[in-house]
A and B are shown apart, each in its own frame.
Chain A
């Protein structure tokens, strides 16, 4: 193995350890109290995991995107909310790194992200846009002395109160059309969050994502020079769908494992070992296993798809309608299939899976995966796909 591969395995190993030894132990309590998984995120900070994808030249871990995806899966197996916070942060980091221009403000910012293990949240959704991330109402607005400012009403900001910095989509200027967007990175000491709602929800409770009015004042250099439409199609959207699908797979795998543990325990108790595979729960588990295999294949092919055109001249392909359709389909299919597997695990475990305090409980898994079809609503993605299917050729 090369030195880089060694470092990657080391990072993956330490994230796996954090997942098993910290995140898993607090997952139920984080879920029950709807609180931020602070000890997991702190443990990830200690491992330098928040800057794992930042290039080595800027002090970061320089790990591959594949390893990052694997980390999301490992965390998903332990605590859905922790995995989602990690994934959302990494989506912003990967986006900044992929659109980094040498000598820009963002280089220095990424160095600070490494040394201080700063956590980035995104402010993409907006009240009044009907869930369309490709349109903004709030605009980059001139302020005193060459400064810029904005005020944006966000219906949800994941872990907003715990984020060090915010990546916010905005119209380029007060005169710009809704689709003419840029992204601005503002630091906590430049931003003000006025909470406008609550976060008492069915699942992913620990992400603590109420609504806010976000106000910030910042320097022009803090606006990404690449138009957001390109940032979205080349990075933010496919990266979100790949990383999210990995963490949903992680949740589904843990639900499946609980089902398997339940069947094994039942088989040990059943008289006559030979017939224990005939237990109805064992048969259900077998069917669930093939469902899980389908989800794994889907998630893996999405990752391969992204890797095949992630960098170099191939990167342009990410902006084609064929590519947008494929990643949209990954999101729709993985978000629905993960929930189906958790429901299947409940069928396997029966009442023992239904109980919140049993070792075979899958309630949290079910509720967490119920969020998957809603975050960037599948209904909205279907609307987009329906339109793209009219014109795309190779689908």
Chain B
């Protein structure tokens, strides 16, 4: 799952650096992800994992790092975590 998340970030977050240089806990917004780009990351993740983020998850803190995204997707699709 971690790799798929990183791919979605690489493809959509338009970071000035490669996502491979970031640790799981690094703040993606501090790394340069704009609010607009974060929406594209969310769309990419929904598509990739065939999920829908409910409204209460659609906020900055849920998408601020690879680890946070992983936790959110794990919550929606417990089987993926295994």
Interface residues of A (CB under 8 A from B): 134-135, 172, 176-180, 229-230, 233, 316-317, 319-322, 384, 387-388, 390-394
Residue on A nearest B27 in the bound complex, by CB = A180
A229 adjacent to B29 (CB under 8 Å): yes
Residue on B nearest A395 in the bound complex, by CB = B55
B16 adjacent to A177 (CB under 8 Å): yes
A391 adjacent to B42 (CB under 8 Å): yes
Cβ of B32 within 8 Å of any chain A Cβ, yes or no, is: yes
- Cα A177 to Cα B30 with chains together (Å): 6
A393 adjacent to B16 (CB under 8 Å): no
A179 adjacent to B34 (CB under 8 Å): yes
Partner of B39, one of A176, A319, A390, A393: A390
Q: Which residues of B14-60 are within 8 A (CB) of A?
A: 16, 27, 29-36, 39, 42-43, 46, 52-56, 58-60
- Cα A135 to Cα B36 with chains together (Å): 12
8 A-B residue pairings within 8 Å (CB atoms): A179-B33, A229-B29, A388-B39, A390-B43, A391-B39, A391-B42, A392-B58, A394-B55
B59 adjacent to A391 (CB under 8 Å): no
A176 adjacent to B55 (CB under 8 Å): no
B32 adjacent to A320 (CB under 8 Å): no
Q: B59: which A residues are within 8 A, CB to CB? A: 233, 316, 319-321
Q: B33: which A residues are within 8 A, CB to CB? A: 179
Q: B55: which A residues are within 8 A, CB to CB? A: 320-322, 392-394
Cβ of B61 within 8 Å of any chain A Cβ, yes or no, is: yes
A176 adjacent to B30 (CB under 8 Å): yes
Q: B53: which A residues are within 8 A, CB to CB? A: 391, 393
- Cα A180 to Cα B35 with chains together (Å): 11
Q: A135: which B residues are within 8 A, CB to CB? A: 34
Residue on A nearest B32 in the bound complex, by CB = A177
- Cα A230 to Cα B59 with chains together (Å): 10
Q: A176: which B residues are within 8 A, CB to CB? A: 30
A322 adjacent to B58 (CB under 8 Å): yes
- Cα A101 to Cα B38 with chains together (Å): 29
A393 adjacent to B32 (CB under 8 Å): no
B5-20 vs A, CB cutoff 8 Å, 1 = contact: the mask equals 0000000000010000
Known contacts A177-B32, A180-B30, A387-B39, A317 near B56 by CB under 8 Å = yes
The 8 A-B pairs at the shortest CB distance, nearest first, are namely A177-B32, A319-B59, A321-B58, A322-B55, A180-B30, A394-B55, A320-B59, A387-B39
Q: B35: which A residues are within 8 A, CB to CB? A: 134, 179, 384, 387
Q: A391: which B residues are within 8 A, CB to CB? A: 39, 42-43, 46, 53, 58
Residue on B nearest A318 in the bound complex, by CB = B59
Shortest Cβ distance from B18 into chain A, in angstroms?
Answer: 15
- Cα A319 to Cα B38 with chains together (Å): 14
Known: A180-B29, A180-B30, A393-B55. 14 other contacts (CB 8 A): A176-B30, A177-B30, A179-B29, A179-B35, A233-B59, A316-B59, A317-B56, A319-B61, A320-B56, A390-B39, A391-B46, A392-B58, A393-B54, A393-B58
Shortest Cβ distance from A388 into chain B, in angstroms?
Answer: 7
- Cα A132 to Cα B3 with chains together (Å): 32
Known contacts A177-B32, A179-B34, A179-B35, A229 near B52 by CB under 8 Å = no
